[in-house]
Structure formats: structure tokens, C-alpha cells
Structure 1
Amino acid sequence: MITLVSIIALLVIAYLLFTSFYPSFGGAISKEQKLIYQNSKQYNDGKFRNIHPVPKDLSFSETMSLTYKFFTTKVPNARPKSDLIATKLDSTSIANYKGEARMFWFGHSSFLLQIDGKTILLDPMFGKVAAPHPLLGANRFNKEFPLQIEQLPKIDAVIYSHDHYDHLDYETVLKIKAKTKHFYTPLGVGEHLKAWGVSNENITELDWWETTQIDHLNLVCTPAQHFSGRKLNTNQSTLWSSWVIQSDTENIYFSGDSGYAEHFKEIGEKYGPFDLALLECGQYNEMWSDIHMMPEETAQAGLDINAKRIMPIHWGGFKLALHSWTDPINRVQAKAKILGVDIITPQLGQEILIKHDTLSNYTNWWQKEAYN
């Protein structure tokens, strides 16, 4: 018994030291910030909350059981047999681009958006693993990106949906902060950026339904049904969100991470129709379906949000759930066909024209024999 207690004590001490001093865990919310957040309808009793009472707070035994299942369950075809190949981009052509609005997918939920003369990154995550340390996670599906992070041009804005490791990456922030004009986040997420050396003047935090402008672009922080936290004692300490990005001629919706709920219809009614909706589809399970959509719900969300076309995201990057790596795209594609929802499926680095893309531009590239 003494030995067991000693081991547990050492593990607790090691965890506390690791989370206190290792920089990737980010910043902490101060008492002064908590007082400010009390003005938010989403903030209650020291935490941000969803409209519905989710996610469920798991007991210690439930947490251990879920963790054990995740690490011991063998999932067939859990990741591609070979690294996903990205279409290479020319840094000069990106830096000098003056054409119509377009995007490039960098895998998972990361995008480079060029719109209204601006270059914007959405949830840029260029790290090797979705974890606080390289030894704590599995490698991403692609070793190379369409454009290496060092080759990125001047960045007018970076938009984050929430602070989880597969969306907000410490090493990525270190590499892009000097070339980024401004960062936009939900409430609290800016504290991580400040801990990593980003100036407070270069950060704008928004609550749900708040808007801001990037010159002629309109940016709206909109609801999502998810959660936040980068270590055990910081769950729900920062807000999560989706985003609406509007120019004079284009209208884009970026879901971030979210379970399926009525906020999609509300956003569609207020800000739709959307030329393109980037909708979460991946890393799901019935055990946590309140915070991650099942693929069939992703297709339905495309109808709710009033989107002319949808693109499934949050897949093709990491193994963070117990489904095969192609299950998300196959299932959402099938359901979209039934519902009559137009869906695009670009490869990493393939150009996506916001207004004038045709569905014929895209193939079922994930079905290649080399990947399965």
C-alpha cells in the first residue's frame, strides 16, 4: 500500500510540474479576466457553458474506462498506409495573389484563406502531434504541407475556434506570430497567445454573436456546442466558437468543433445563405456525440446552415477517435447525396474557389490503393 501511494504521489507531482512549467500548456485565466467574463451569457460559476448542459462531467472511473478503451481498442484502417500527399503551393504566387476568394486545406481543420486582398489562417495547426508533447500523441497523416510554415507570406489575420491541441498549437504560434498582424479568438483563448509572446494589442477576443471588421471583411464569432481546456484543471476556462467570414461578395462559415444542435439553424437564419460551409466531420463516437457531430449530422447541418456547398473538415489529419480514417468522408458523402447537399472533397493543397468552384473539380482521392 505504501508503495502504491508513493507511486501515485510521484505521478501527481510529475504531472503538476509538467503542466506548470512546460510552455505548450499555455496561459492561465486571471481573477481579473474571470470578472470580465461574468458579463458573458456563456459564463457561469467560473466556467463557460454550452446552451445545453453538455458535455457530461465524467467521473474518475468513467474517465479511466474511456481512456483505457481508446488506447487498447484496435481500429482497422485507423490511419492511411502511406503519408497523404499534398499539392505543393508556390510561396510567391500566394504572396502576390490578387484574384477572387480562394482557400487551401492543410488537413484536419487548418486552412489558408485569401479573400478581399487578405491572407488569413483558420485554426493553423502544423504540429506533428495533437498533444502537448511529441511523445504523447500519434503522428499526423501528412509529413509535408502544401506550403511549409516558414514559407508562409505575411498573414493579415489568424482565426482560432478553441484551444484544443489539434487546433491551437504552441510550436505553430511561435513560427507565425512575427509575420501575423492580428489574432482573433473566442473569449479567453488569447491568454494562451499572450503566454507565448503575442502582444495583447495584436489579439481580439470575442463572445458569441459579437462582430468585428478586418478592413472591409466582417467577422462574426458564432456559437458551437463543444468544450475547451489544455490540462485537467482548465476545462471550460476559455470559450469555443464557430465563425462567419463575410466580404462584399462572399460568405463563409467555419464550424470549428461542434456537436449537432439548433445553433446551426439560428446562424443560417441570421447570416446565411453561405457560399461554402466548412463543417466538422471526424473524431466522433456515440459516447461523445454531444460535442462532435456524426457524419450524417454534418450533412444535415449543411442544410440547417443554409449552405450552397459544404466541405467536411476535422478528418484526414489525426487519429483521435475509434473509427477508420475514411469513415467520416464516406458516410457524410453518402448522406449528403440523400439530402441533396452539394459537397466538395479537395485534396490537401488543392485550390478551392469560394464562388465559382464546380463539383467536378474533386475526386474520391482517399480511396487510392496506396492509402488503404
Structure 2
Amino acid sequence: MGIIIGIGILTLVIGIILFLYVSPQFGDSPTATQEQKFALTNHYKDGKFINIGEVDMQMGIKDIGKSLIGYFRPTKGVTPESPISVETIIPSDLMDYSGETRLFWFGHSTFLLQIQSKNILIDPMFGDVPAPHPILGSKRFSNHLPIRIDDLPPIDAVLISHDHYDHLDYKSISKLKHKVKSFYTPLGVGAHLKSWGVSKDKIYELDWWEEIVVSDLKFVCTPAQHFSGRGISDKGKTLWSSWIITSKNENIFFSGDSGYGSHFKTIGEKYGPFDFAMIECGQYNTLWHEIHMYPEETAQAAIDVKAKQMMPIHWGAFKLAMHEWNEPVERLLKASEIQNINVIIPKIGEEIKIGKTITSTEAWWE
């Protein structure tokens, strides 16, 4: 019996090791030459990227244990009682669109932005589970997405905020890469894309505060307070960011993942005001408060960046924390009412036109 148990444990260990080193889900690491260039920035130290003020999240064994127990403990309300309904997007309605700037939300932090006759995907995570393997994460709250990847129009640009699984998905990129002209990422993230078959000629990596002009649009890579990593030993090896998208008519902000910090005010002073801001609001906990905001801080971040209209993101799709799934928007709405912030909370798949009230007015998350 002891031999059988020993063989079973050894097989499990070998299987895990093979998975860690063979599975394409984990992507790849930046080259040594790239790391030498990273060292020239003021937010790279001892082989890793760091936050402004070196804010970090160092959870001890005790805190990790609390986190795992809380995550896997069955708790009422952390997921919807029934699958979330989503609005269907008709493929033909997206093709050759040249009307007013609009967005479609896919839940969590994924968007399709149609602006200046261009199609832009933001953090395209279309998978069912935000993890390297289905058994390691919880399933999406909805049974399906508003539209299939295959039915999306040609994509002019993909913006990626960082390399965590709920924002950068291997299978989504694999299906998308043939219809995308260019990918824009923070420093180092391109290594994952190249390992997944994306041509290096399509990949543009930016540092914080770097700008790139693409036809009649400008993309700006701006700071966030977070961290990165897809495996066991690659924390901080790639940069994380927020993004600004500017056209001749609109100025748009996407927060990516971030704890609350001074960078929001700096971004607002340098590039604001913003006509529309998508700001993180969800998956928070006292154990990792440094890298995910409370809803009340989301409201303050909207004020800091000078958002004329804001939308809470990073919720409505996956269970990644222990709070009730709809708590983030309930708390945000209370805070925004006090501070007179213009908030919209569209259904997944609903058309969002900047500066205009969305068509649905009911509190669908209730």
C-alpha cells in the first residue's frame, strides 16, 4: 500500500511539473536583452518591476491560507443564483461600422471599442475560467458571451493591461491572432504573445507614460498599482498598466487592475478630463487591498482622473474574491451618489455610447 501511495504521489508531482513547463498557458519570459532595457526605467528593481512608492503585496503563509479557505468555502451570494443574461450582439451590426463611438462590455474587464471606424479589443478574455486549468478557477457567471470570437469583425488593435489570466487568455489570443493587426502591451508582455504564435511585427510594448499614434488615434500606457505573473516564479517579470485612448472627439481611460494610489490624480492632471472612464470595481479583500480598490476608492479614482462618466469594471463575470458578486456596484452607487459621480452600469453585451445614458435603466444585477 505504501508503494502504491508513493507511486501515486510521484505521478502527481511529475504531472504538475510537466504541466508547469509544457503547458502553453503559462506563456514565456522576456529575454535577457529586454531585461537590460527594463533596468533603465525607474520602476524596475532587482530583476522585477515595482509600483510607484514600491507598494507591494507580500502575503504570508497564514494570509494565503485564509485566502484559499475563504475562496473555496461555499458562501451564499458570491456567485449569482442563476446565470446572468446577456444581450446578443449581431455580427453584421459590427461590420464596417463608422457611426458614433461605442463600446460593448463582455463582463469583467473585456471590451470591444468601435471608434473612428476602427475596432479595438481591450483585455480580451473570452474563456470560461480565468486560470491555467479549468479545475483551478470558477466558471463564468453567464452561459455564453454576447458574440463568438469567430463572429467578431477584423480587429485593428488589442490593448492588454497585464498578464494575469483574467485579462490575458491563451485560448482567446490563439483564436483572435489571425484577425488582429496589432497588439499593444506593457513592457515584457509581448513574450507571451510571441510564444503563442503572434508575429513580433504585430507587437508593440510600451513603458509607463509612453505614447504611440496609430492613424488618427493615440494610445498612452499609464501607471497602475498592481503586479504580474502567470507561473510560480515570474512575479513582476512583466509590467502592468492602465491605458488612455484618444481620438479627435473623445478621451477614454481604462484603469486595468489597480489599488488606489496617487497615479490616478497624476493621470487626471496630465491627460484629463476623460469623457469616459472604465475603472476597476471588484475582487477586493483586506488581504490584498494594495492591488485592488474598494468601491469607495473607485469613486474617488473617477474624481481623480476627472471622468465625466464612469463605468465599474472587473466584476460581473468571475468569482475571484469572497464578497457577494453584486456588492461592488451597490457600494459604488452609494458612494457615487454622495459625490455626484455620473455612473453607468450596462448589461453585458449592451451598446454603450459615450456621453449618453444607456438604454437599460433597471438594476439588472439585483
Q: TM-score, normalised by structure 1?
A: 0.94
Q: Do 2:154 and 2:179's aligned partners in 1 also have CA atoms closer than 8 Å? A: yes
Give how far 1:92 is off.
Answer: 1.3
Letter of the structure 2 residue corresponding to residue 125 of structure 1: M
**1:358 and 2:363 matched:** no
Residue 269 of structure 1: SS of its match in structure 2? helix
Counterpart of 1:289?
289
Q: Do 1:267 and 1:305's aligned partners in 2 also have CA atoms closer than 8 Å? A: yes
Cα distance in 2 between the residues matched to 1:151 and 1:26: 26
Counterpart of 1:15?
16
CA RMSD of aligned residues (A): 1.8
Counterpart of 2:188?
188
**1:199 and 2:199 matched:** yes
Give how far 1:185 is off.
Answer: 0.3
Give 1:320-359 correspondences, 5 Å limit: 320-355=320-355, 357-358=356-357
Letter of the structure 2 residue corresponding to residue 40 of structure 1: T
Q: Do 1:346 and 1:363's aligned partners in 2 also have CA atoms closer than 8 Å? A: no
**1:68 and 2:69 matched:** yes
Q: 1:70 to 1:55 in 2, by over 3 A?
A: farther
Letter of the structure 1 residue corresponding to residue 54 of structure 2: P
Give how far 1:5 is off.
Answer: 9.4
In structure 2, stretches of 5+ residues that fail to align are none
Give how far 1:11 is off.
Answer: 5.4
Q: Do 1:70 and 1:321's aligned partners in 2 also have CA atoms closer than 8 Å? A: yes
Cα distance in 1 between the residues matched to 2:258 and 2:361: 26
Counterpart of 1:28?
29
Q: Do 2:163 and 2:189's aligned partners in 1 also have CA atoms closer than 8 Å? A: yes
Q: Do 1:217 and 1:247's aligned partners in 2 also have CA atoms closer than 8 Å? A: yes
Letter of the structure 2 residue corresponding to residue 336 of structure 1: S
Give 1:122-161 correspondences, 5 Å limit: 122-161=122-161
Give how far 1:14 is off.
Answer: 3.6
Q: Do 2:211 and 2:218's aligned partners in 1 also have CA atoms closer than 8 Å? A: yes
Cα distance in 1 between the residues matched to 2:71 and 2:112: 32
Residue 52 of structure 1: SS of its match in structure 2? helix
Cα distance in 1 between the residues matched to 2:212 and 2:260: 26
Counterpart of 2:226?
226
Letter of the structure 2 residue corresponding to residue 141 of structure 1: F
Give how far 1:348 is off.
Answer: 0.7
Counterpart of 1:50?
51
Counterpart of 2:238?
238
Counterpart of 1:253?
253
Give how far 1:237 is off.
Answer: 0.6
Q: Comparing 220-229 with 81-90, which one deviates more in the overlay? A: 81-90
Deviation per CA, 1:190-235: give whole Å up to 9, x if none: 1000000000000000000000012010100000000000011011
Cα distance in 2 between the residues matched to 1:94 and 1:46: 43
Cα distance in 2 between the residues matched to 1:365 and 1:105: 15
Letter of the structure 1 residue corresponding to residue 45 of structure 2: N
Give how far 1:292 is off.
Answer: 0.2
Residue 174 of structure 1: SS of its match in structure 2? helix
Q: 1:312 to 1:160 in 2, by over 3 A?
A: same
Identity of aligned residues (%): 51
Cα distance in 2 between the residues matched to 1:306 and 1:11: 52
Q: 1:8 to 1:306 in 2, by over 3 A?
A: farther
Deviation per CA, 1:149-190: give whole Å up to 9, x if none: 110010000000000000000000011000000000000111
Residue 121 of structure 2: SS of its match in structure 1? strand
Letter of the structure 1 residue corresponding to residue 362 of structure 2: T
Counterpart of 1:370?
none
Give 1:53-132 correspondences, 5 Å limit: 53-72=54-73, 74-132=74-132
Q: Comparing 147-156 with 55-64, which one deviates more in the overlay? A: 55-64
Cα distance in 1 between the residues matched to 2:183 and 2:113: 14
Cα distance in 1 between the residues matched to 2:45 and 2:215: 34
Counterpart of 2:212?
212
Q: Comparing 283-292 with 31-40, which one deviates more in the overlay? A: 31-40
Counterpart of 1:317?
317
Q: Comparing 288-297 with 134-143, which one deviates more in the overlay? A: 134-143
Residue 64 of structure 2: SS of its match in structure 1? helix
Q: TM-score, normalised by structure 2?
A: 0.95
Cα distance in 2 between the residues matched to 1:84 and 1:204: 35
Q: Do 1:344 and 1:362's aligned partners in 2 also have CA atoms closer than 8 Å? A: no
Cα distance in 2 between the residues matched to 1:225 and 1:13: 36
Cα distance in 2 between the residues matched to 1:232 and 1:121: 28
Cα distance in 1 between the residues matched to 2:8 and 2:35: 35
In structure 1, stretches of 5+ residues that fail to align are 368-372
Give how far 1:75 is off.
Answer: 2.4
Paired residues, number: 364
Deviation per CA, 1:224-277: give whole Å up to 9, x if none: 000000011011110000000000010000000000011000000011010011
Q: Comparing 185-194 with 61-70, which one deviates more in the overlay? A: 61-70
Q: Do 2:67 and 2:287's aligned partners in 1 also have CA atoms closer than 8 Å? A: no
Cα distance in 2 between the residues matched to 1:247 and 1:257: 23
